[in-house]
Amino acid sequence: MQKFMNNLSRFMAILGGIVLTALIILVCVSVLGRTLNSLLHSAPVVAVLGDFAKTLLDAGVGPILGDFELVEAGVAFAIFAFIPFCQITGGHATVDIFTSMLPLKVNRLLQMVIDIVFAGVLILIAMQLYEGMLSKMQYRETTFLLQFPVWWSYAASLVAAVVSAIVSVYIAIIRVGEFFGNRTILAIGGADH
Amino acid sequence: MTNLEIGMASFPVLLTLIFLRVPIGLAMFLVGLFGLYFTTGSFNMAFSRLKSETYSTFSSYSLSIIPMFLLMGHFATLGGMSQSLFKAAEAWLGHRKGGVAMSAVGACAGFGAICGSSLATAATMSQVALPELRRYGYAGGFSTATLAAGGTLGILIPPSVILVVYAILTEQNIAKLFLSAFVPGILAAIGYMITIAVYARIHPDRAGTARERMPYPERLRALRDVWPVLTVFLVVVGGIYLGVFTPTEGAAVGALGTGLIAIVNGGLNRHSFVESFMATARSTAMIFFIVLGAAFYNGFLALTQLPQSLSTYVAELGLSPWMVLTVILLLYLVFGAVMDSLSMILLTIPIFFPIISALDFGMTPEEVAIWFGILVLIVVEVGLITPPVGMNLFVINSMDRLTPMIETYKAVMYFVASDIIRVIILVLFPGITLFALRLLY
């Protein structure tokens, strides 16, 4: 089970990373296209290339239409997909100078309560995201330039949000086991950023 | 309870939760959620905000700069750029007294120019510089302190994740903030080098031996090896300043460029690619959860009208603006010693920024906003190297098991002093921070 959850979280993180990389390439292509486009419109280039400049422009050399809409949709998915890995490796920023003085048993109790609440919050977030998606479907909201339905991006994020909720419930169950069984199953890493 | 009282009561609750090791983002989220419940009488408003707020926070175009810059930093780490930066700095500075330590600071500054994170800069440069410092006989505590301080240049020199967040919170122009952060960042690097020179005079036995002086052809050759870093920095930062592209586009170009350099240098294969995704995933999720929690908490605070009331109250007290600024900066120094810098910015700026904006410093509102942003950036970074819990100190010390923490603590106080002197100078002379801005815009 632990192996499955670990692999699931890693898989989501890699998927998010791939989407992020794709967005980076997309933005770069768009910047390149825009730069070439304005170059091809400039007088010296037109003088040298003549009609070829126009041919290139007609062929569609220019910025990618609605690139920032794709960035917004993609980056939301990527961030939701990053959450499970952060949960399972305990990557969240915390202040532990005060709790480190407390006995282990108390710390386990704290960690159990925190992770149960965290799971609850992530479930709530996923549920409300689903509600949000339903209302976007109902009003048939589309993006401004590309005209694709907004609920598509919500749906993609929802998948990742549901995985986050599942992983965090699993972690909460582990913490309960740790508290009552008096042993460490899943170590907590420190924050790195 | 009036709404204002609920707002005020939320502070101690929030701090208690944070000190009970509740993740900071989660703590802000919870206090915001229940705060909205107490001010509106039901969860309806909180829940309906959640329907779109999580998505809109995560899908923000301006915030998408953060994962891109983080990925860029990880590519830079893997691409062997730290090595060539350190070699180049050593060729120019290594023969001075304390020169190898100065080189480490110089290389940190260079690495900071392509990496927006302090801990990443400190950790990366340590791998390269710590063995070298040891070989030339530098004392352990002095070496770790140097790298911890040098690491803060990662965030002081743009691009900087914290400045992006500040810009969004206060609705300022990211390009202008980056531009204004540049000179204070360079001053920080120079200040650290002076600190090293002073330390080497006071404790000559701990500051190692100098390297042999390098002839100029060799120095130039070492400089030639850092051109990829320079190119990426110039394209990204120059492009953003000149308005060729948006900050997000700049981050994308930088990430792609750094990734390609890393591939060419052989630092990036399938395994390390996955590793950089993992590291990016962890820090991105952490940062965005804090951003989400803060958005929720600040939404609640705005509803209680606490920030407005507080800023009116402070303005009517008739205190000197400089006095108020000093108190705020001191608060940051104290909190910075226990809390991570991003959470601190997200938590406090919505409250402190209106206060500062309502005061008259004899500058335009935009200049005050930018100047204050840079000052805050510096003081929260001081927290990263302030004993007992500065995060940079822990990161470096975990990489050098031979040096007891207390040795690092002793040596790092010199760098903290240098930071505090720099903050005082920048407070007294806002022109140092703002002249580039006044010149170019």
Q: Which of A79, A82, A135 sits opposite B51 (nearest CB)?
A: A135
pLDDT for the residue numbered A192: 37
Instruction: Look up the ipTM and state it.
Output: 0.91
- Minimum CA–CA partner of B239 in chain A: A31
Please state, as a whole number, how many other Cβ atoms lie within 10 Å of the Cβ of residue B416: 19
User: Do A98 and B281 make contact, defined as CB atoms within 8 angstroms?
Assistant: no
The runs of H, that is alpha helices, within A42-50 are 43-49
Is B220 within 8 Å of chain A by CB?
A: no
**How far does CA B36 lie from the centroid of its chain?**
31
Nearest to A28 among B19, B256, B282 (CB): B256
Hey, what amino acid is at B302? A
**Chain B residues touching A82 at Cβ < 8 A:** 67, 280-282, 284-285, 288
Distances (CA, A) of A62 to A70, B205, B235: 16, 62, 20
Nearest to A24 among B29, B255, B340 (CB): B255
- pLDDT at res. B150: 93
pLDDT in tens, chain B (441 residues): 788 889 889 989 998 998 898 998 999 999 999 999 999 888 988 898 899 889 999 999 988 989 998 899 888 887 778 888 898 998 888 888 889 999 999 999 998 888 877 888 888 888 889 888 988 889 989 999 999 999 999 888 888 888 989 998 899 998 899 889 989 999 999 999 999 999 999 998 888 777 778 888 888 888 887 888 888 888 988 888 888 888 899 999 999 999 998 888 877 788 888 989 999 999 899 989 999 999 889 889 988 888 888 888 888 888 889 999 999 999 888 877 777 788 888 888 988 999 999 888 989 999 999 999 999 999 988 888 888 777 788 778 877 878 888 888 889 999 999 999 999 999 999 999 998 888 877
For residue range A122-165, what is the model confidence (pLDDT) as tens digits?
999 999 999 999 999 999 888 888 888 999 999 999 999 999 99
Three-state SS letters, chain B? CCHHHHHHHHHHHHHHHHHCCCCHHHHHHHHHHHHHHHHHCCCHHHHHHHHHHHHHHHCCCCCCHHHHHHHHHHHHHHCCHHHHHHHHHHHHHCCCCCHHHHHHHHHHHHHHCCCCCHHHHHHHHHHHHHHHHHHCCECHHHHHHHHHHHHCHHHHCCCCHHHHHHHHHHCCCHHHHHHHHHHHHHHHHHHHHHHHHHHHHHCHHHECCCCCCCCHHHHHHHHHCCHHHHHHHHHHHHHHHHCCCCHHHHHHHHHHHHHHHHHHCCCCCHHHHHHHHHHHHHHHHHHHHHHHHHHHHHHHHHHHCHHHHHHHHHHHHCCCHHHHHHHHHHHHHHHHCCCCHHHHHHHHHHHHHHHHHCCCCCCCHHHHHHHHHHHHHHHHHHHHCCCCCCHHHHHHHHHCCCCCHHHHHHHHHHHHHHHHHHHHHHHHCHHHHHHHHHHHC
Chain B nearest CA to A58, separation (Å): 23
Q: What angle do CA B168, B173, B178 make, to 5 degrees?
A: 100
In this structure, what DSSP letter does residue A187 have? Answer: P
Query: What is chain A's mean pLDDT, rounded?
Result: 89
Using the beta-carbon criterion (under 8 Å), do B277 and A80 form an inter-chain contact?
Answer: no
Q: Give CA angle at B9 (B3, B10), nearest 5°.
A: 95
Residues of A in Cβ contact (< 8 Å) with B282: 13, 82, 85-86, 89, 91, 192-193
**Helical axes B174-202 vs B405-428, angle rounded to 10°:** 130
Distance CA B298, CA B348 (A): 10
| Distance between CA atoms of residues A81 and B98, nearest Å | 46
Of B253, B391, B394, the CB nearest to A28: B253
Average pLDDT, integer, range A153-181: 95
Q: In the Cβ-directed half-sphere of B429, how many Cα atoms lie within 13 Å?
A: 8
Q: Check whether A190 has a pLDDT greater than 70.
A: no
A142 SS3 class = strand
Q: Which of A30, A121, A128 sits opposite B51 (nearest CB)?
A: A128
The whole-number pLDDT of residue B154 equals 87
CA distance B283 to chain A (A): 5
Rounded to whole angstroms, the Cα distance separating A20 from A24 reads 6
Asked whether the bond before A44 is cis by omega within 30 degrees of 0, the reply is no
| DSSP tag of A89 | T
pLDDT of the residue at B392: 82
Residue B194 corresponds to which tokens in the numbers above?
A: 């002076």
CB atoms within 10 A of CB A36: 16
Cα A26 to Cα A7: distance, rounded to the nearest angstrom: 28
Question: For B249, phi and psi rounded to 5 degrees?
Answer: -65, -40
Determine the pLDDT at residue B329. Answer: 93
Higher pLDDT residue, A23 or B155?
A23
**pLDDT for residue A166 is more than 70:** yes
- Sign of the alpha-carbon dihedral angle for B3, B8, B12, B17: positive
Check residue A193 and give its pLDDT.
35
At CA B371, angle to CA B370 and CA B372, rounded to 5? 90
Task: Report the gap between the CA of A90 and the closest CA in chain B (Å).
Answer: 9
**For residue A162, what pLDDT is reported?**
97
> Does residue B43 belong to the interface with chain A, where contact is any CB pair within 8 Å?
no
DSSP-derived letter for residue A189 is P
Contact between chains at A99 and B26 (C-beta distance less than 8 A): no
Its pTM stands at 0.88
- Find the closest chain A residue to B60 by CA distance: A72
Contact A97, B388 (CB under 8 A): yes
Kindly state whether B201 is in contact with chain A, defined as any CB-CB distance less than 8 angstroms.
no
Is B126 an interface residue toward A (CB < 8 Å)? Answer: no
* Coil/strand/helix, residue A149: strand
Count of CB atoms situated within 10 Å of the CB of A113:
15
Distance CA B371, CA B432 (A): 10
CA dist B161 and B225 (Å) reads 27
Here the tokens at position A8 are 């699931």
For residue B282, give the nearest of A86, A124, A132 by CB distance: A86
Cα–Cα dist B27/B22, whole Å: 6
Position A189 scores a pLDDT of 52
pLDDT of residue B316: 85
Least CB–CB distance from A94: residue in B24, B68, B249: B24
Length of chain A: 193
How far apart CA A179 and CA A185 sit, in angstroms, is: 10
Of B244, B286, B391, nearest to A92 by CB-CB distance is B286
- Asked if the Cβ–Cβ distance from A132 to B51 is below 8 Å, we say yes
Q: Are A16 and B281 an interchain contact pair (Cβ–Cβ within 8 Å)?
A: yes
Q: Which of B79, B286, B75, B66 is nearest to B159 (CA)?
A: B66
Give how far Cα B186 sits from Cα of A86, B156, B226, B412, B432, Å. Answer: 34, 9, 18, 19, 11
A175's tokens = 């913490």
Q: At which residue do the structure tokens 């599942």 appear? A: A166
CB contact under 8 A, B339 and A193: no
Hey, is the C-beta of B284 within 8 angstroms of any chain A C-beta? yes
- Per-residue pLDDT band for A9 (boundaries 50, 70, 90) equals very high
Determine, for residues B55 and A154 on separate chains, whether the beta-carbon distance falls below 8 Å. yes
Using the Cβ of B366 and the Cβ atoms of chain A, whether some distance falls under 8 Å is answered with: no
Q: At what angle do helices B270-304 and B3-19 cross, to 10 degrees?
A: 150
B34 interfaces chain A, CB cutoff of 8 Å: no
B343 touches A: beta carbon within 8 Å: yes
CB pairs under 8 A between A and B: 195
Interior CA angle at B283 toward B279 and B285, to 5°?
115
Confidence of residue A20 (pLDDT cuts 50, 70, 90): very high
